[in-house]
């Protein structure tokens, strides 16, 4: 059953405010992760490759949301891993609660109208990510 994606505002790792509503009109992938989970960190590497190839596509967006870790922890991890993809901080877990996350990594595929079209738990290959997002275009 599809539903509207709950609105949220979070800070990125540089302390800048990011609103989900800013991405309406784009196909969006939200991925929840933590730095201590080996599968989630493996997924970030795949997402980074995907981001580098698609960051100039104005119909598509990727947001990663770190779940319940301090900004300094996340920033250190992102710097060590040399990630440039967008990383938002859900330090108190409130956005995770809105989306009812039960496992990490968790991917939420949202269409241009802000409707959640698919939720996937686990690791996705870059090819699988492309397939799922292209179906929403």
pLDDT in tens, 105-132: 999 999 999 999 999 999 999 999 999 9
Residue 125 lies in a domain: yes
DSSP annotation of 7 reads P
What is the rounded (10 degree) CA torsion for 88, 93, 99, 103? 100
pTM (2 d.p.):
0.95
Give the domain CATH number at 65: 3.40.30.10
Domain of residue 97, residue span: 26-136
Span 55-80, pLDDT tens digits = 999 999 999 999 999 999 999 999 99
Structural domain total, the chain: 1
Look at residue 13 and tell me if it is in a domain: no
> Does any domain span residue 21?
no
* pLDDT tens-digit map of 28-59: 999 999 999 999 889 999 999 999 999 999 99
Indicate whether 72 belongs to any domain: yes
């Amino acid at each position: 059953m599809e539903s509207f994606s709950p609105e949220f505002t979070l800070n990125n790792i540089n302390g800048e405010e990011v609103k989900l509503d800013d991405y309406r009109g784009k196909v969006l992938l939200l991925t929840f992760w933590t730095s201590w989970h080996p599968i989630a960190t493996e997924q970030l590497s795949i997402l980074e490759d995907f981001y580098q190839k698609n960051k100039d596509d104005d119909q598509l967006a990727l947001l990663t949301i770190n779940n319940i870790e301090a900004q300094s922890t996340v920033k250190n991890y992102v710097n060590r891993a040399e990630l440039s993809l967008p990383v938002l901080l859900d330090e108190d877990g409130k956005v995770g609660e809105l989306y009812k996350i039960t496992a990490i990594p968790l991917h939420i595929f949202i269409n241009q109208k802000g409707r959640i079209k698919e939720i996937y738990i686990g690791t996705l290959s870059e090819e699988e990510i492309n397939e799922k997002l292209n179906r929403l275009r």
